[in-house]
Structure 1
Amino acid sequence: MSPWIGQDPSSVKDDAPILIIGAGLSGLLLARLLTNSGIPTIVFEASSATRSQGFSISLRDWGYDEILAALGDIPLSRLLRGVAPDRRRGGSGELDQVIRNNATGEVLIRPDPKTMKGIVRANREALRSWMADQGEEEVDVRYSHRLVEVSGEPGDVVAKFENGSVHRGCFLVGADGVHSAVRAQIIPQVIPETIPVVVYHGEFTLTHAEFDTLLRPLMGNGNILAGIGDDFNTPITMADVTSTHVHLDWSYSRNARIAGPDEDQTHIDPLYIPCSTRGFSSKSPTLPLDALAAELSTRSLAHPWSEVLSPERILSGDYKIVYWTSRCVTVSHKEEMTSAAKSSGVVFVGDAWHAMPIFGGEGGNHALVDAVELWEEIVTAREYSSEAGLSHQGVNSFWEIKAAEKYYSRAFARCQDAVRRSKQRFQVLHRPMSQWKEIQKKSEMMLKLMEKQQQGKEVTNPNDRDAAVAVSATA
């Protein structure tokens, strides 16, 4: 909900800009909302403007509803026309949420469309561009600005960059991800935790005809072909579409096998790379593609996973393959964040303070909600501060501190609970096939139960009632 109170926020006497470090999802959305509100804002991004993040993410209704409302009650259809991976095929980012056995292709879980959670797919790069375009005034993004130092206090924050430039602002937002340079300086005690899981990610391209032959029969109009194995996953996802080709990703994920104190980790699990700083790509000689191909050769995969994840394709060089090191960032106490804001004039959004594993996490959604909630609190606090004639300089600077306190009061529990759930969700999605078979039976019983309820029939079978409880707990 838009927090307009009546006075133009740009009338606040302090005209120093808000500095945002990081042009990811949360940084760009926050900058767009602040710019639309007439608040001077500059975004600084370490990478060049040509860097692409073309993979797709899942947007949940509680996330995209916040974005659309904040941008002026934009309809969902308009968002999907701009960001859905399959938009150029006439699609709308559909996600059927069906889970299949990747050894047979059979459906394990098929949610009832009437009760499915609202989830759509979005191309990450398209989403960034779309958000940046939702306003009359262009968002000021400065690329190739790698932060080296932050200093100052609320109302007067100084950011120094590797290229020699120095910028002063009234407030600084750390939106620079799991490896946040801002966090390393302001709250260095908060260190990313490596999660002991294995996730390999590959990119490939098919012509439209090849896609229709290989993947369309099982994927249908959806954007994900979710394949589940015995303790491992092999999802195939649509990333983007051009007039001639369909760009896709595959993932291979499982729990890591951890070596004992006297064992060699490489020998125990050659696919697990716990010490990677930012992950390895297929260009790196240290990426164990031979071991990956060997392990995949032992998996009894059905069509089309057997073609996409064949050992021959893995070793052919046709794929761009990346090892994703899964990390979480957790903050123990809200006071750590509010204290940092009061002393330094710095606040955090997104992965910089609540990173979640890429596989099974909801980090992008929470990052976007962060941006909306912080924007609302900034606008409200600036307006109140201006009306009350309060100071905007130094330790007495009111609105920066008030906005940070109110923002963290709203966001802290939401985000930290989500980090905890994201760790659990990886385990839920990587379980023995015997457990998936049990869930399949309960799911089928649940659907029969719902049909009876819709027909107005009394539910007398205790197995039906048990199924309802079990499916709701494991879905």
Structure 2
Amino acid sequence: MSDTKPVLIAGAGLASLLLAHSLRRSGIPFKIFERDASFIFRAQGYRLRLSAEALEAIEQVLGPDTFQRFWDKCGKTDGAKFSEFNAITGEGKDDRLTAQQVLVSRGGKVVGIARGDMRTVFAEGSEEHIEWNKEVTGYELTDDGVRAIFADGTKSVEGSLLVGGEGIRSRVAKQLSGGKLKVYDTGARGIHGQAPTTAFKGLGEGVFIIRDDTHPDGSLAIITNVREKDMDNPEINFGWTMSAFPGVIRPPNDDHTIVGKQAADVARSLTKNWHPRFKPLIDQLNESEAAFWKITCSTPSGVPEWPNEPRVTVIGDAAHSMTPAAGLGANTAVQDAALLGRLLREAGGCKPGVTAAYEREMRVYGSAAVARSYATAVRQFGIKIDEETTPTVF
């Protein structure tokens, strides 16, 4: 396999961009194909909490100078200040959340960053290598390389390696694994929201879970991260993520792609009886940024094995989609990017054995993360996946 052929990357998500950053620093050519028209084409979610493992992976890829700029964009919340509250009474629970639940990662702090800021840093230097409006629907192997096939029937240049990083509906993952890689629809739905810092004054600094057990179909909860240093900045919005048992959050026509007032109205309806301490988070939300999302999960028993193809592999949600419980999805995805990027650098490009080594290691930590995420979601959202009967996303 020629080292002059680029690495082809399907999807321009966070893991793909971090992998591209790693390849650029290693002098390995690459091309990214993204189905959207730009980074702002659709809702991307608000904020991510970062684990210790994720921060180490990101630091490894970015290097000291760029990582410092990334670190400066991160918010740091006192990890000792995390609590769960009853949404109706306003009362706190006696038992504190564990540090593992809130991903305390460095210096006793919960470290988080807006997805947009994260994407901006990861994409630095790679923008000219992204081809927009290119939806990858499969691939074909050549004598000594691979080509991506697009939705319009055209094909990419020949690459040395194709990396499927296009998320839970990855056609690359489906083809590569022979259908073994599956993403299940748990039936649960969520809503992302943002509100001005003034709405959070009643909470103070910390990571908070606000839980409502009064809905007939099951529990509903919001998690939010309130950073003290940003509290008095009127230009900053804090975000929250709402999730619930299946049947509690009902997008119109079950269309989880809806963004805006309809999502905001559903959030307000579900929280109309909440305690005055928490109501401002919903009442003052930025309607245009409200968005539904679908809670999905890969095979709970672990990342399956498939015959290794040296010229094709997968990263991120294409390999191991997770529920939001435990906050592990993006944190595991950046570990994929760092690992695959390192192996390619050490090999001097796509050489035999690279994808096999990557997949062996990824299956171990990826399977552990999916299992932890699923077990937490069973408790928090009341979901249950039957690998024989639960519907998949496509």
- Asked if these proteins are the same fold (TM beyond 0.5), I'd say yes
How many residue pairs get matched?
A: 363
In the other structure, the counterpart of 1:28 is: 17
Aligned match of 1:37: 26
Q: Give the AA of the match of 1:357.
A: T
| Aligned residue number for residue 199 of structure 1 | 190
Residues 397-421 of structure 1: CA distance to partner in whole angstroms, max 9, x if unpaired? xx54400111111110210121121
AA paired with 1:33?
Answer: S
Q: CA deviation at 1:23?
A: 1.0
Q: CA deviation at 1:96?
A: 4.8
Q: Quick one: structure 1 residues 121 and 179, their matched pair in 2 at CA, closer, same or farther if it must change by over 3 Å?
A: same
- After superposition, the Cα gap between the structure-2 partners of 1:111 and 1:200, relative to the gap in structure 1 and judged at 3 Å, is closer
Match of 1:232 in 2: 220
> What percentage of residue pairs aligned between the two structures are identical?
22
Q: Distance in 1 between matches of 2:78 and 2:10?
A: 33
- CA gap 1:195/1:275 in 2 versus in 1, 3 angstroms: farther
Report the Cα distance in structure 1 between the residues aligned to 2:9 and 2:103, rounded to whole angstroms.
36
Structure 1 counterpart of 2:82, from 98, 119, 143: 98
Quote the residue 1:369 is aligned against: 335
Higher mean alpha-carbon deviation, 34-43 vs 156-165, is at: 156-165
For residues 143 and 62 of structure 2, the distance between their equivalents in structure 1, rounded to whole angstroms, comes to 27
- Once residues 57 and 110 of structure 1 are traced to their aligned partners in structure 2, the CA distance between those partners, rounded to angstroms, is 21
**Which residue of structure 1 aligns with residue 61 of structure 2?**
70
Residue 179 and residue 97 in structure 1: after superposition, are their counterparts in 2 closer, same or farther (change >3 A)?
Answer: farther
Question: For the Cα contact (< 8 Å) 2:259–2:288, is it kept in 1?
Answer: no
Separation in 2 of the partners of 1:44 and 1:348? 14
Give the structure 2 partner of residue 216 of structure 1.
201
Q: Deviations over 1:111-164 (max 9, x none)?
A: 799x9831411111111111233x6x8662222221233111583101133464
Question: Which moves more between the two structures, 22-31 or 326-335?
Answer: 326-335
Separation (CA, whole Å) in 2 of partners of 1:145 and 1:241: 41
Q: TM-score, normalised by structure 2?
A: 0.78
4+ long deviations beyond 6 Å: 238-243, 331-335
User: Displacement, 1:185?
Assistant: 3.1
Alpha-carbon displacement from aligned partner over 1:356-392 (angstroms, at most 9, x marks no partner): 0134330101100001111122222337xxxxxxxxx
Aligned counterpart, 1:296: 271
Residue 278 (structure 1) shift: 5.3
Contact 2:84–2:97 (Cα < 8 Å) also in 1 = no
TM, length-normalised to structure 1: 0.66
- The structure with the largest alpha-carbon Rg is 1
Structure 1 regions of 5+ residues with no counterpart? 1-11, 85-90, 257-268, 384-398, 432-475
CA distance in 2, matches of 1:334, 1:106: 38
Are the structure 2 counterparts of residues 276 and 184 from structure 1 closer, same or farther at C-alpha, using a change threshold of 3 Å? farther
Within-5 A mapping of 1:49-64 = 49-51=38-40, 53=44, 55-64=46-55
| Larger RCO of the pair (alpha carbons < 8 Å, separation 6+) | 2
Gaps of 5+ in 2: 214-218, 383-394
Shift of 1:243: 6.8
**1:157 maps to what in 2?**
146
> What pairs with 1:321-336 in structure 2 (closer than 5 Å)?
321-330=290-299, 336=305
Distance 1:168 1:274, change over 3 A: farther
